A = this chain, B = another copy of it.
Amino acid sequence: MTFTFTLEAEHGMARAGVLETPHGPIQTPVFAPVGTQAAVKAVEPRELRELGATLVLANTYHLHLRPGDELIAELGGLHQFMAWDGPILTDSGGFQVFSLGELRSLDSDGATFRSHLDGSLYRFTPETSIRIQHNLGADIIMAFDECPVPNDRAAVRAALDRTHGWLARCVEEHHRSGDPARQALFGIAQGGIFPDLREESARFAAEMDLPGYAIGGLAVGETKAEMLATLEHTTPFLPTHTPRYLMGVGSPEDLVHGVARGVDIFDCVLPTRVARNGAALTREGRINMRNRQYAADPDPLEPGCTCYTCRTFSRAYIRHLVKASEILAHQLLSIHNLHLLLTLMREMRAAILGGTFTDYANSFLAAYQPVGAQKGALSIPAS
């Protein structure tokens, strides 16, 4: 049955499972590369497949504006349009709309905003977001929610009430005009950094009996410690038999910490954005390929890595491509960075299945130097 989630193993809060979708199974924990505009930047679909990607994310806001979800529906839907025959997830467009700042105004019914492309006026409501996502045709679609500043209690409280009302409307619209066997609607629990609000929101969402739930409103300004503490007291209030999705999170250390706190699904632009900035993710941390130290370095980006980039090219060559502003630099670094995250997820899954997750996670974090933080500054919950 589509959207059945089978929990295969648990290790502390960490879980390994399989989510069935109309476009194949997703083994969890999973990292979803982001194809904002129906394309993972600088990576071909056949390369995503080669990297072992299963789930790919696309953005409702961007695709509604350009080329238009109705056009994509006419052309057979997002899978056919972007030539990705694996599972796809679309967000609700809410986060992008709220990020527009002065270009949008919010009311209890929805949001009115101006396109960042040409200034023309648009309106999203829970119902329009769901109908746009029906047109796009992703396997997993998301409820329309409001994502407030996470540490302003009054704002979080108000957003929570709005988000809950909208969630009920999304569920209703999806059952009215959608096909729950073809597309799974995930709810989103909000609540900022406030444990009681998180619990309330997780419980409210869980009441809807949906095939999956996201933890929203994190990685938007709070500290890492606040994010992890919030995760720890949110996931216990979400159902165990459905997948949990932490939106917009994807640094290597955050993936490990998220899995350790019961998250099953992640997405983030980080690996491809970092690539376009000329940096490589390695198991020791991020390295800036513009650095002179790599100028004559014959080693691959990460010795031992099995990705096409590392099997084929030296750091010296990649540095040259970055310095020379060659598009190929974006391609090769994106392949490597995605490979690291996808491999990390597979390794964590194997460790959960093998009962060694805590050791694996601690060992990874001991070697990994996060940007602007100390190695292993945040710890893995005891299993």
Q: Residues on A close to B: CB < 8 A? A: 37-46, 62, 66-67, 71, 74-76, 81-83, 295-296, 298, 308, 312-314, 316-317, 319-321, 323-324, 326-328, 330-332
Contact = CB atoms under 8 A, between A and B. Distances in A.
B317 A83 contact: yes
B71 A321 contact: no
B326 A67 contact: no
Contact of A67 (B81, B295, B313, B328): B295
Given A40-B328, A42-B327, A327-B330, 9 more contacts: A37-B320, A39-B324, A45-B312, A67-B319, A67-B323, A71-B295, A75-B296, A81-B317, A83-B313
Nearest to A47: B44
30 contacts: A37-B320, A37-B321, A37-B326, A38-B317, A39-B321, A39-B326, A39-B328, A40-B328, A41-B326, A41-B327, A41-B328, A42-B331, A43-B328, A44-B308, A44-B332, A45-B312, A46-B308, A67-B319, A67-B320, A71-B295, A71-B316, A74-B296, A75-B298, A75-B314, A81-B316, A81-B317, A82-B317, A83-B317, A327-B327, A327-B330
A38 to B, nearest CB: 7
B327 A81 contact: no
A38 B71 contact: no
A330 B331 CA distance: 11
A328 B45 CA distance: 10
Nearest to A67: B320
Nearest to A334: B327
CB-based closest 6 A-B pairs:
A42-B327, A67-B320, A39-B328, A37-B324, A39-B326, A83-B312
A294 to B, nearest CB: 11
Nearest to A272: B327
A296 B314 CA distance: 42
Contacts of A321: 37, 39
Contacts of A81: 314, 316-317, 320
A320 B330 CA distance: 20
